[in-house]
Structure 1
Amino acid sequence: MLQVKIVPVTAFAQNCSIVWDAESKDAILIDAGGEPDKLQAEVEALGLTVKALWLTHGHLDHAGAVGALKKRWNVPVIGPHKEDAFWLDMIQEVSARYGFPIPEKVEVDQWLEGGEQLQLGNEQFEVRFAPGHTPGHVMFYNANYGLLWTGDVLFKGSIGRTDFPRGNHQQLLDSIQRECFSLPDETQFISGHGPISTIGFEKQHNPFVAGQAG
């Protein structure tokens, strides 16, 4: 059985997801964006063994704890797409600019292209390539539980910003249509910030994309 705990981290209240298999207690973290001590304490309290760190994209608030946790747990970093390498290369510089603690550098073990199947216990997660917010953004979809991790592509009632370097608004809209709105309406998604929503709700009510499904 798949279980999820959302742990907001950093001043940006970024949703880090601890995802684990209830039987084996094997876990992955999606977007360990900061506060590594806090995330480690959560994992230990749950009695989990982390097997990998997955990244949707390279922004500071999604990747800030990854370097430290990779060292502590000796686990691979998987994702995002290699087009986000420049963001990860700048993570220390960007952290200094925002007045954040300077994080460990992030070394990616497996870049993703989209279409891969990642495994946790008996569960499979499909990698969906969704550029726009950043050029190398990916999402993770578990069809068995109808769960999608959208990172900063799609939020409840909003969409990702595209005013960062190499952001592209039309590309983001295309990604949402292709990679989010192609999923069943009842699909729940966990975004990088804010509450959980469903694909069907956003198709109807999200002012940035409502009425454009198809």
Structure 2
Amino acid sequence: MDWTQLPLGPLQTNCYVLSHDSKCIVFDPGSEGEQLVEWLNENKLEPLAILLTHAHFDHIGAVGSLKQTFNIPIYLHEKEEQWLGDPTLNGSSRFEMGTITAPEADILLDEETELTVGPFTFQLLHTPGHSPGSISYYFAEGGALFAGDTLFMGSIGRTDLPGGSHEQLLDSIHGKLMSLPEETIVLPGHGPATSIISEMDSNPFLNGF
């Protein structure tokens, strides 16, 4: 199984495509929908689902294009069910990025359980703090964590947006993410990949440096 990082849009939000043979999962298609559809077709990949780590505008801008083209289900935490269609909740009106909306989610997630889509199985980790419905998807078979805007290389997600909480975010990271295997690759919503051990050792937000 392979994953590809595709930074999209003005904020260079990381969309990830996790593939096996010709099947794939698309995480956080944030922008540039036509180009993303073209890339998937050029690589002869068949998307099975869109998995959203959360519903901020920079993570959902290309959801409609993928949904229209491939007619695949959208997964999202139930706490952000209304955000996809509401620019005041998803933040696009706040940041003057134009009105960004997406189709409603087909499957609302509310439990920390296993999620299997085609050949892919994930452990769902509810990691609020950056937003109330933030989910991190742990892909044990590939030793990777699709972390959204919860944890970055040398940093953590911002908590000054509606529904954010610095204390809750740190609880999520320490309680859920730092207990994963140290060699786990962390695939964040922005910036380069990192690992649990790297952030455990050197992230100043987690170590008080």
Place the TM-score, normalised by the shorter chain, in its bin: over 0.9
Q: CA 1:211/1:114 → structure 2, altered by over 3 Å: closer, same or farther?
A: farther
2:167 to 167, 170, 194: 170
Match of 1:143 in 2: 140
Query: How much does 1:210 deviate?
Result: 2.3
Equivalents in 2 of 1:161, 1:88: separation in Å? Answer: 20
Match of 1:52 in 2: 49
Equivalents in 2 of 1:77, 1:147: separation in Å? Answer: 21
SS of the residue aligned with 2:79? Answer: helix
SS of the residue aligned with 1:128? Answer: strand
SS of the residue aligned with 1:144? Answer: helix
1:17-166 to 2 correspondences below 5 Å: 17-22=16-21, 25-79=22-76, 81-91=77-87, 94-100=91-97, 102-166=99-163
Cα shift readout 1:100-135 (whole Å, capped 9, x = no counterpart): 354453210111124232224433111110000000
Q: CA 1:140/1:8 → structure 2, altered by over 3 Å: closer, same or farther?
A: same
Equivalents in 2 of 1:10, 1:160: separation in Å? Answer: 18
Contact 1:91 1:103 in 2 (8 A): yes
SS of the residue aligned with 1:162? Answer: coil
Instruction: Return the TM-score normalized by structure 1.
Output: 0.90
Query: How much does 1:40 deviate?
Result: 0.6
SS of the residue aligned with 1:41? Answer: helix
Unaligned runs of 5+ in 1: none
Cα shift readout 1:172-195 (whole Å, capped 9, x = no counterpart): 000001111010111101000000
Unaligned runs of 5+ in 2: none
Q: Which moved more, 1:104-113 or 1:33-42?
A: 104-113
Contact 1:155 1:194 in 2 (8 A): yes
State the AA in 1 paired with 2:68.
K
Contact 2:29 2:60 in 1 (8 A): yes
Match of 1:203 in 2: 200
Cα shift readout 1:69-119 (whole Å, capped 9, x = no counterpart): 11221110012x111224323238843554435445321011112423222
SS of the residue aligned with 1:209? Answer: helix
Contact 1:68 1:103 in 2 (8 A): no
Instruction: Return the TM-score normalized by structure 2.
Output: 0.92
Cα shift readout 1:21-57 (whole Å, capped 9, x = no counterpart): 12xx111100001110111111011100111111000
Contact 1:181 1:199 in 2 (8 A): yes
